[in-house]
Structure 1
Amino acid sequence: MAQALGFLSDFKLGHYMKIPPKSMFYVQSPWTCPGDTVFYNASIIWGVIGPLRMFASQGVYGSLNWWFLAGVLGPIPFYLLARKYPEKKWIHLINVPLILSSTSSMPPARAVNYIMWGIAGIYFNIYVFRVHKKWWASHAYVLAAALNAGIAFLGVFIYFTLQSKDIAGPSWWGLDADDHCKLATCPTAPGIKVPDCPVL
């Protein structure tokens, strides 16, 4: 449903930009997103493997269940701090459920994404808001839209210049191009021997 809503919101944007619906549909259909892969993997985990062998005592990810307790207890210290120091208004603005819910898109996103989002958000919504409030009021949303558009343009640029030529992409601190499984090109038929691949 979320993917369908995102698809429709793109069509709405295309309608406002006077792009013909057939052209919008044609360029959107062959694209794949990391979220689709995560959704597919989740369906395999929950449907084929089963949560008991993944997230219970029998599974390798059983310790992840402790995060439910962290989610329940996380807001309590900030609530107590806000009660103890009512004059410090910034403590009231800390929303632990909102911070923790941002990690729901963590499987396709990487840690460097969150670090950059945090730096940009804190800088523009605290420093610029306080020091240059007039600029912030008239340009903050335009800047946010420009940053989102820049990501989209860069994604298309990287696809046509690097990925279409089987180049994994640039490597920089925090975002090594290590998310490609080396075994993905290995044969799955039994008995075939390829260097650096397991034989089934």
Structure 2
Amino acid sequence: MQKYKPVPGWWYIAFFLVMMAMALAAVCAYPTHLTWWALIIALIISLAWTIPIGIIYATTNIHLGLNVFTEYIVGYMLPGRPIALMLFKTYGYITMNQAHAFLSDLKLAHYLKIPQRPVFWGQLVATIWSCFVQLGVLEWALGHIEGICTSDQKNNFTCPGPRVFFNASVIFGLIGPQRIFSSGAIYGSLQYFWLAGALLPFVIYFLARAFPKSKIRFFSAPIFFGGMSELPPATPLSYLSWCLYGFIFQKYIKNRWRGWWMRFNYITSAGLDAGLAICTIVIIAALNLTGTGFPDWWGNRAPSNTMDYLETAVQKKVGSGEIFGPRTWG
């Protein structure tokens, strides 16, 4: 790799300044309700957590998000501003997420002996191009897919991710954490998890020192708490697949056939990701666009026949005009 020219530091600085100027122009010129100083705070949060979460990501291959953390902060800073909350969360969380994705690709390129400068421009051009592609696909989907983002959409385009994003803007932005999570509020007791999250790593550390041969040394508090952060929009079915695959490959095969695992484990993971993307294209082209019904068998029916999916586990439903929270907000 020493034969290739490295990427100059001023390239990153220049690109950051250009993007910073565009971000300031966007939040100040449009009615986003996000102040310029809040944007800077969001970027500082992203910068501060890039290395700590990056270390966890590099050692465990599990990426922890800052979505709830940023929502909580901006909910106190700018209460009653749901659009500002979504933008603050994007700049405070996605900036860090993109940095980790960039670092991950640079690391892979280093292993494959790919020059640094082509990787830099490849990432940059692909990211800019993806902005236009995503906007185009979104506009097309909203205008051409019947019943999109509804719970009974025939092809299951129910938009779980955007639903969570919208609900978070209402909970943390419109209503605000002050009214929901502060002392004496309906969910005020959840504040104790800040204390639990801060103290548990120290407890595990000292227990592992005291009992070096116990399995407590494998317990990771950030992974334990962060692993539940994808619920929602992920479902128990998603977690079951995740745990089953992880146990088979990272435990059973790794211990039994370590040579095969070292050679093919990550290639298999990449193959599964690629297979999912190709399968999605094939299903859309062969079934959805032709109006052909999807195969009906147990594996496809089981997830939609659960109490969670059918909402039959709810013991009490809110009727017309009824509420489940306080009648007045302080």
Q: Bin the TM-score by the shorter chain.
A: 0.5 to 0.7
Structure-to-structure mapping, 1:63-142, within 5 angstroms: 63-88=189-214, 91-142=216-267
**How far does residue 28 in structure 1 lie from its aligned partner after superposition?**
6.1
**How far does residue 150 in structure 1 lie from its aligned partner after superposition?**
4.5
Match of 2:115 in 1: none
Unaligned runs of 5+ in 1: 182-196
Q: Which amino acid aligns with 2:237?
A: V
Distance in 2 separating the partners of 1:199 and 1:67: 33
Structure-to-structure mapping, 1:179-198, within 5 angstroms: 198=320
Structure-to-structure mapping, 1:33-44, within 5 angstroms: 33-44=159-170
1:14-65 alpha-carbon deviations (Å, 9 max, x no partner)? 96xxxx9799554466468533322222122222112122223454333322
Partner SS, residue 40 of structure 1? helix
**How far does residue 180 in structure 1 lie from its aligned partner after superposition?**
7.8
* Contact 1:52 1:58 (8 Å CA) reproduced: no
**How far does residue 73 in structure 1 lie from its aligned partner after superposition?**
3.5
Runs of 4 or more above 6 Å deviation = 20-23
* Contact 1:170 1:177 (8 Å CA) reproduced: no
Match of 1:176 in 2: 306
* Contact 2:253 2:261 (8 Å CA) reproduced: yes
Distance in 2 separating the partners of 1:124 and 1:29: 40
Supply the RMSD in Å over aligned alpha carbons: 4.5
1:71-110 alpha-carbon deviations (Å, 9 max, x no partner)? 234334432331123245x543321112212222222112
**Pick aligned residue for 2:187 from 61, 64, 72:** 61
Q: 1:147 to 1:28 in 2, by over 3 A?
A: farther
The TM-score with structure 1 as length reference comes to 0.61
Match of 2:114 in 1: none
**How far does residue 70 in structure 1 lie from its aligned partner after superposition?**
2.7
Distance in 2 separating the partners of 1:109 and 1:115: 11
Match of 1:184 in 2: none
Percent sequence identity is 31
Aligned residues: 173
Q: 1:171 to 1:130 in 2, by over 3 A?
A: same
Distance in 2 separating the partners of 1:151 and 1:47: 35
Partner SS, residue 228 of structure 2? helix
Distance in 1 separating the partners of 2:270 and 2:184: 46
Q: Which amino acid aligns with 1:112?
A: L
Match of 2:14 in 1: none
Partner SS, residue 227 of structure 2? helix
The TM-score with structure 2 as length reference comes to 0.40
Unaligned runs of 5+ in 2: 1-89, 103-121, 142-148, 150-158, 312-318, 323-330
Distance in 1 separating the partners of 2:240 and 2:131: 38
**Pick aligned residue for 1:45 from 159, 171, 189:** 171
* Contact 1:81 1:91 (8 Å CA) reproduced: yes
